[in-house]
């Protein structure tokens, strides 16, 4: 009897927890959309609520405060993009093909997800000023570094030569490349998509010793 009650309560509370988590995710999606549109400095809770189907008060029912909401958003963002290139790593049969696929994937996400990427750079920068985001930002940045390293090291394997740079350098270099392309793309220079593709391929070749 007590057990049944316990089970029921578990089932109920689990369902509630699920619904709770679901709504959190839904609100975080609205928040991410707003942030990607306006940037951190211009995003308010009321604006986020207007991009959802709820009123502004509900945000404090699901999140303690603004910091928790944005932290949650950053974590959700991470889940989306940290495995972006893993598919092409396993499916590539040669170094050249991997280079091409990687360049193509970089170009594609620049074209399709530009607002999200500018948000990421914005939030990473907030981490340089505000202590509260720092841990999550660093965590994501390390995940991205590992993601890039999976590509580079596999490229090195396929080409039979070791990488000539460390994991940190490789990430910094491709990140810098992407950021420049993003800057150009968001100011209307659509050719930067193609430039990013070829620059990525070229640089990949130079970061692995060929002979």
Partner DNA sequence: AGCACTTCTTGACAGTCGTCAAGAGTTTCT
Partner DNA sequence: AGAAACTCTTGACGACTGTCAAGAAGTGCT
- Judged by the rule CB under 7 A, the positions of this chain that interact with DNA are 8, 12, 15-16, 19-20, 23, 43-47, 53-62, 64-67
3-state secondary structure of 208: strand
Burial class (CB in 10 A: 0-12, 13-18, 19+), 13: exposed
Main-chain dihedrals φ then ψ at residue 63, nearest 5 degrees: -135, 140
Q: How many CB atoms lie within 10 A of CB 190?
A: 9
From 80-88, 98-106, 134-142, 153-161, give the range in contact with a second copy by CB under 8 A. 134-142
Phi, psi of 94 (to 5 degrees): -140, 165
Ranges within 141-180 binding a second copy (CB under 8 A): 141, 164-166, 168-169, 171-177, 179-180
CB nearer DNA, residue 6 or residue 160: 6
Q: Is 113 in the site for a second copy (CB under 8 A)?
A: no
Residue length of the chain? 211
Tokens coding 160: 């039979």
Identify residues 90-109 at the interface with a second copy (CB under 8 A). none
State the residues that interact with a second copy by CB under 8 A. 38-42, 118, 121-122, 124-130, 134, 138, 141, 164-166, 168-169, 171-177, 179-183, 186-187, 195, 199, 202-203, 206-207
């Amino acid at each position: 009897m007590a057990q049944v009650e316990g089970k029921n309560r578990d089932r109920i509370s689990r369902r509630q927890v699920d619904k709770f988590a679901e709504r959190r995710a839904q609100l975080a999606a609205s928040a991410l959309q707003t942030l990607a549109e306006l940037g951190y400095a211009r995003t308010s809770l009321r604006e986020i609520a207007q991009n959802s189907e709820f009123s502004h008060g509900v945000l404090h029912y699901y999140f303690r405060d603004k910091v928790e909401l944005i932290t949650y958003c950053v974590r959700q963002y991470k889940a989306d993009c940290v495995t972006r290139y893993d598919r092409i790593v396993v499916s590539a049969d040669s170094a050249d093909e991997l280079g091409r696929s990687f360049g193509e994937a970089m170009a594609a996400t620049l074209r399709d997800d530009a607002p999200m990427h500018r948000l990421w750079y914005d939030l990473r920068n907030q981490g340089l000023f505000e202590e509260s985001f720092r841990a999550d930002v660093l965590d994501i940045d390390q995940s991205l570094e590992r993601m890039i390293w999976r590509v580079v090291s596999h490229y090195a394997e396929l080409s039979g030569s070791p990488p000539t740079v460390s994991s940190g350098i490789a990430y910094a270099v491709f990140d810098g490349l992407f950021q420049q392309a993003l800057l150009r793309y968001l100011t209307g220079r659509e050719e930067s998509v193609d430039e990013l593709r070829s620059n990525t391929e070229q640089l990949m070749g130079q970061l692995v010793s060929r002979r």
